[in-house]
């Protein structure tokens, strides 16, 4: 789905290295790009090479993508830091698996910190999109390329092994001809009839480096204002609101349907953008919600962003299972029951 959506977004350059559980995407790009006259697919010798090939294509002004899974994304972080520093657009797909280290190949969400805190060295951020359905994989992939170009920033699509291997009917957006995309005024394509250009990140002068950091910061502030996106599911009357993204949000919805049958007023706030984190939507909801329950497939990472956003205004519960364990909706329903009937909601104390 991501592969088809990427090509329809005018991406003609893909570089990847085999790693489970995301080889389907690499293989799709291999055959998909081979079928396009202007398509370029290289199976790179390493994740480092793949991300740096993306960097080269991006310098030349064209849309490029790479993908991997957790251990491979760690290797790409050098390149992602350079892309951020050099303000180059790129799309990077992380199909998360259990970790740290080699971990396993089961679906997990342990890379939230890495994705939302920059990931590599230096003071930077990347946009992080978290699709929750097959349809969204297609739509957010299109948006990823648009955001990357608009803000000149690397964009991470953060999924997991379950998102990567599910089958759902999808309606794809109309394909874009890459030749129809607007020309970028900063690209390296040979200094014909103009002054020569430099794309670089070495800024030895400390005040110039500081200014570059602030420039990036101001850009991140604008992105924070412009693109946060959420889904609200049964939140209108909710006393308890779950926060979950990706695969966890699908499990959460199943649990919410069960407890609603018992009459519990529970809803879901699902961030589609993990960075920027949808702080405003959360704060707005906190005015009429008693408690929040963060559910993640890790030991508590988005939990920190929820607490930072709420600044102690509401009680925040957490339930998470790391290691590639996929909780069942019944399991989450029990957690919700526990909050309602044992701990008690904060507003009822």
Partner 1 sequence: MKQVFGRAESLKDAAFHYCPGCGHSIIHRLVAETIDELNIKEKVIGVPPAGCAVLAYNYFDIDMGEAPHGRGAAVATGLKRALPDRVVFTYQGDGDIAAIGTAETIHAANRGEKITAIFVNNGVYGMTGGQMAPTTIVGQITTTTPGGRNPDRDGIPIDLSEMLALTNGSVYIERTSVDSPKNIIKTKKAIKKAFQVQMAGLGFSLVEILSPCPTNLKMSPVQASKWISSTMTTHFPLKVIKDETGNLGAQPPSE
E strand residue ranges, 36-136: 40-43, 64-68, 90-96, 127-129
Is there binding between residue 57 and partner 1 (CB under 8 A)?
Answer: yes
Q: How far is the CB of 122 from partner 1 (least distance, A)?
A: 12
Cα dihedral sign for 181, 183, 188, 190? positive
CB-CB contact of 267 with 253 (8 Å): no
Bond prior to 262 in cis (omega within 30° of 0):
no
How distant is the alpha carbon of residue 306 from its chain centre? Answer: 17
Q: What are phi and psi of 314, to 5 degrees?
A: -135, 155
Q: Which is nearer to partner 1, 189 or 343 (CB)?
A: 189
Distances from the Cα of 61 to the Cαs of 1, 36, 183, 275, in angstroms? 24, 19, 8, 24
Span from 58-66, 167-175, 207-215, 292-300 in contact with partner 1 (CB under 8 A): 58-66
Site string for partner 1, 79-118 (x = CB under 8 A): x--x---x--------------------------------
Report the candidate in 2, 3, 72 with the shortest Cα–Cα distance to residue 34: 3
Q: How far is the CB of 315 from partner 1 (least distance, A)?
A: 45
Q: Which run of H or of E encompasses 274?
A: strand 273-275
Residue 203, class by beta-carbon neighbours within 10 Å (0-12 exposed, 13-18 middle, 19+ buried)? middle
Q: Which is nearer to partner 1, 7 or 108 (CB)?
A: 7
- What part of residues 124-163 is at the interface with partner 1 (CB under 8 A)? none
Using CA atoms, how far apart are residues 239 and 288, in angstroms rounded to an integer?
7
Give the three-class secondary structure for 216: helix
Residue 119, class by beta-carbon neighbours within 10 Å (0-12 exposed, 13-18 middle, 19+ buried)? buried
What DSSP state is assigned to residue 323? T
**Residue from 18, 36, 189, 344 in contact with partner 1 (CB under 8 A):** 189
**Residue from 174, 192, 236, 342 in contact with partner 1 (CB under 8 A):** 192
Q: Which is nearer to partner 1, 152 or 265 (CB)?
A: 152
Q: How far is the CB of 194 from partner 1 (least distance, A)?
A: 9
Q: Which is nearer to partner 1, 167 or 202 (CB)?
A: 202
Is there binding between residue 176 and partner 1 (CB under 8 A)?
Answer: no
Give the residue carrying structure tokens 């089961």: 106
Is there binding between residue 197 and partner 1 (CB under 8 A)?
Answer: yes
Q: How far is the CB of 104 from partner 1 (least distance, A)?
A: 27
Using CA atoms, how far apart are residues 282 and 246, in angstroms rounded to an integer?
17
Identify any residues that bridge with 64 across adjacent strands, giving them in sequence order: 13
**Residue from 32, 61, 134, 329 in contact with partner 1 (CB under 8 A):** 61
Bond prior to 191 in cis (omega within 30° of 0):
no
CB atoms within 10 A of CB 103: 18
Q: Which is nearer to partner 1, 180 or 287 (CB)?
A: 180
Number of residues that bind partner 1 (CB under 8 A): 39
- What part of residues 198-237 is at the interface with partner 1 (CB under 8 A)? 198-202
- What part of residues 62-81 is at the interface with partner 1 (CB under 8 A)? 62, 64, 78-79
Identify any residues that bridge with 154 across adjacent strands, giving them in sequence order: 90
Is there binding between residue 279 and partner 1 (CB under 8 A)?
Answer: no
Site string for partner 1, 32-51 (x = CB under 8 A): --------x-x-xxx-xxx-
Q: Which is nearer to partner 1, 21 or 154 (CB)?
A: 154
Q: Which is nearer to partner 1, 62 or 270 (CB)?
A: 62
Q: Which is nearer to partner 1, 180 or 196 (CB)?
A: 196
Binding site for partner 1 (CB under 8 A): 13, 15, 40, 42, 44-46, 48-50, 52-62, 64, 78-79, 82, 86, 188-193, 196-202
């Amino acid at each position: 789905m991501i592969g088809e959506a990427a090509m329809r977004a005018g991406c003609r350059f893909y570089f990847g290295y085999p790693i489970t559980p995301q080889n389907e995407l690499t293989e799709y790009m291999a055959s998909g790009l081979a079928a396009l006259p202007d398509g370029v697919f290289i199976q790179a010798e390493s994740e480092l090479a793949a991300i740096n090939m993306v960097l080269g294509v991006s310098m030349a002004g064209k849309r490029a993508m790479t993908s991997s899974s957790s251990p491979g994304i760690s290797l790409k972080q050098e390149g992602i830091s350079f892309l951020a520093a050099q303000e180059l657009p790129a799309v990077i797909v992380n199909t998360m698996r259990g970790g740290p280290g080699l971990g396993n190949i089961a679906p997990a969400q342990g890379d939230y910190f890495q994705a939302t805190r920059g990931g590599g060295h230096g003071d930077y951020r990347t946009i992080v999109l978290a699709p929750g359905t097959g349809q969204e994989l297609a739509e957010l992939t299109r948006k990823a390329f648009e955001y990357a170009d608009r803000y000149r920033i690397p964009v991470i699509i953060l999924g997991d092994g379950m998102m990567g291997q599910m089958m759902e009917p999808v309606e794809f957006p109309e394909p874009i001809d890459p030749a129809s995309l607007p020309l970028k005024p900063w690209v390296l394509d040979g200094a014909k009839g103009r002054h020569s250009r430099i794309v670089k990140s070495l800024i030895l002068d400390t005040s110039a480096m500081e200014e570059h950091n602030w420039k990036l910061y101001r850009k991140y502030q604008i992105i924070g204002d412009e693109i946060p996106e959420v889904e609200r599911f049964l939140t209108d009357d909710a006393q308890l609101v779950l926060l979950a993204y990706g695969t966890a949000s699908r499990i959460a919805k199943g649990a919410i349907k069960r407890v609603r049958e018992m009459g519990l007023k529970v809803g879901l706030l699902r961030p589609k953008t993990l960075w920027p984190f949808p702080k405003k939507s959360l704060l707005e909801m906190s005015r009429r919600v008693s408690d929040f329950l963060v559910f993640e497939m890790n030991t508590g990472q988005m939990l920190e962003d929820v607490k930072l956003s709420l600044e102690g205004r509401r009680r925040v519960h957490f339930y998470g299972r790391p290691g590639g364990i996929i909780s069942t909706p019944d399991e989450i329903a029990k957690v919700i029951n526990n909050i309602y009937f044992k701990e008690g909601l904060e507003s009822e104390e």
